Amino acid sequence: MSDNVIVGAIAQPEPGHRLAELYADKPVQRILCYTDSVRDVQLNNVAAFGVGLLRDLTERNAPFHTDFRLDLVQRHGNGHASDKLTAELLGKYDQVWFFGIQPCDLPEQDQPENELTGPEVAALRAWMDAGGGVLVTGDHSNPKPPGADPALDELLNLGRAIAHRVPRAGELRVWEGLPDSSIEFSHNTHQPDDRGSDINNPIPMDADHHPQQLILKRYLPSGRPHSLFSGKRGPITVFPDHMHEGQLRIPDSYPAEVWPSGPFGQPKPEIVARGTDKRNGSVYGVVSTYDGHAAGVGRIVADSTWHHYFNINLFGFLTEPAVAAKLGEYYVNLALWLAPPRARQQARARMLWWLVNHPVVRMAFGNPAADVGRTALGLLASVTNPATAHDLAWPLPTATDLPAELALGGQLVAYWQELNSTADTVPSPAELIDRGLRAAAEEHAAKLRESLARTENLSESIESGLRLTAS
């Protein structure tokens, strides 16, 4: 059964209806792929370094509650630094995915602004502080080109020019020094094929249908991976491979002026997926995340290489639909996770509206809130992954002991009560979510207090019972 059959038509109130404010239009996530290589990085399905397959897998696998649109902007598309990052350009997008090639400024080669300028960094900082999401990538290092700043390392990372000054995100990758592209000092995640191909060669290894297997961080108590790698049919453990990836970095310190704090503390980046070097068994970070939403700023994902997104590393999976489907899920998860809070709230409101109007859930109303939530979670399992469902049940950036079925059920009951109300005023989706979570929290606390009351004198009861059985 397809997701469209399960989702069905989403009921929309008539314009001017008292419930019209609760209906949420499907948000569209606008994603800017930003590059500095006019020749290599193209928005098509043919070029080796193209991102056409990435675009197709992301847009075609969009869930029922959010759509995606990927655009590509070339920094030097109309001449050197002709298309810089400005507040106006950034204002058109919710996310920026950096796919840079150039290593540094090269004034002697008439390339003085390969790197982001001060005004660009300032515009990015303001945009990111307002919730804009960033994917930052690069690749291995190459020898420093002639004319580069003598103070720079002799090895410079591909992609360094447009990424190393991105606020916060630039600190999450190694931009100078090793690893390089040599066999001795590279990071090789190529999965060996069944023909005995040399894993140190890009072809056929990059373009084959054998993905690398990831080692995922798991979170207690559920044991689930990070939301990026949560799939409808289990964790996403497959990823494109490459013979010389770059390296992630976790900062040594977190000054407050760079890494802000929020009501739940100071969020810090973490590595959530690792890969294995197939030559020596070494383990490297592949993907890291920074949940800026917990501090009121944008989220960040850092990746060891843009080869995880380019056509050349995706071509082989066109004949492996199961792998392609999992990669499509990852790209969708990436776009959803990086979405600004306002877009995530709109998507959440749309999902709640769909659930409260779905025949399966409507039949559960009148039962306890936890039963309503359990019914909704079962329905969600057919159309989304566990992480998205959990995010719907508990939208706050902190852990909770509140059962997911009760948290979600409380919100749906609040919606249902409003759908059956005749009051002149209608709360906003945020107000209903707040009302539902508070009701769920109080119900859970009442049950805990009742359980505590039953067990307070348990020691005395045990002692009395043991005396009785011994007599």
Q: What is the average pLDDT value for the chain, to the nearest integer?
A: 93
Nearest CA to 140 out of 312, 303, 311 is that of 303
How many Cα atoms within 13 Å fall on the side-chain side of residue 243? 18
Helices 52-60, 321-337: axis angle to 10 degrees equals 80
Give CA–CA dist 337/391, Å, rounded: 10
The 3-state DSSP class for residue 379 equals helix
Compute how many other C-beta atoms are within 10 angstroms of the C-beta atom of residue 97: 26
pLDDT confidence of 220, banded at 50, 70, 90? confident
Sequence-distant (6+) residues with CB within 8 A of 46 are 52, 311
pLDDT confidence of 130, banded at 50, 70, 90? very high
What are 89-92's contacts with CB under 8 Å, separation 24+?
89/32, 90/32, 90/123, 90/124, 90/127, 90/132, 91/127, 92/30, 92/32
6-23 per-position pLDDT tens digit: 776 777 777 767 787 888
Nearest CA to 222 out of 237, 232, 236, 235 is that of 235
- Predicted pLDDT of residue 237: 98
H or E stretch including 213?
Answer: strand 212-213
- Predicted pLDDT of residue 194: 84
pLDDT confidence of 315, banded at 50, 70, 90? very high
What average pLDDT does range 135-158 have in this prediction? 97
What average pLDDT does range 324-340 have in this prediction? 97
Evaluate the omega torsion of the peptide bond into residue 269 and state whether it is cis, within 30 degrees of 0. no
What average pLDDT does range 402-423 have in this prediction? 94
The distance in angstroms from the start CA to the end CA of the chain is 64
pLDDT confidence of 36, banded at 50, 70, 90? very high
- Predicted pLDDT of residue 331: 98
What average pLDDT does range 295-311 have in this prediction? 98
* Residue predicted with more confidence, 11 or 212: 212
Residue 199 and residue 243 in contact, taking contact as beta carbons nearer than 8 Å: yes
In three-state form (DSSP H/G/I as H, E/B as E, the rest C), the secondary structure along 218-284 is: EECCCCEECHHHCCCCCCCCEECCCCCECCECCCCCCCCCCCCCECCECCCCEEEEEEECCCCCCEE
Give CA–CA dist 362/412, Å, rounded: 10
Residue with tokens 């976790």: 250
Residue 100 and residue 349 in contact, taking contact as beta carbons nearer than 8 Å: no
- Predicted pLDDT of residue 1: 42
Question: In one letter, which amino acid is 395?
Answer: P
Distances (CA, A) of 298 to 74, 153, 410, 425, 439: 23, 30, 28, 33, 30
| Torsion on CA atoms 61, 62, 68, 71, rounded to nearest 10 | 0
- Predicted pLDDT of residue 471: 63
Name 155's bridge partners: 143
Name 98's bridge partners: 34, 136
Percent of the chain scored above 70 by pLDDT?
Answer: 98
What average pLDDT does range 168-172 have in this prediction? 98
What average pLDDT does range 346-350 have in this prediction? 92
- Predicted pLDDT of residue 2: 54
Distances (CA, A) of 182 to 48, 163, 361, 458: 21, 23, 58, 68
Give CA–CA dist 388/61, Å, rounded: 15
414-423 per-position pLDDT tens digit: 999 999 998 8
353-379 per-position pLDDT tens digit: 999 999 999 999 999 999 999 999 999
Residue 412 has pLDDT above 70, yes or no: yes
- Predicted pLDDT of residue 8: 66
Q: State the pTM of this model.
A: 0.94
Residue 106 has pLDDT above 50, yes or no: yes
The 3-state DSSP class for residue 343 equals helix
Cα 10–chain centre separation = 26
431-444 per-position pLDDT tens digit: 999 999 999 999 99
Residue 4 has pLDDT above 70, yes or no: no
- Predicted pLDDT of residue 217: 98
Length of the chain in residues, anyone? 471
Residue 281 has pLDDT above 90, yes or no: yes
- DSSP secondary structure letter of residue 297: S
Residue 216 has pLDDT above 80, yes or no: yes
Compute how many other C-beta atoms are within 10 angstroms of the C-beta atom of residue 182: 12
Residue 369 token pair: 């809130």
Phi and psi at 275, nearest 5°, equal -120, 165
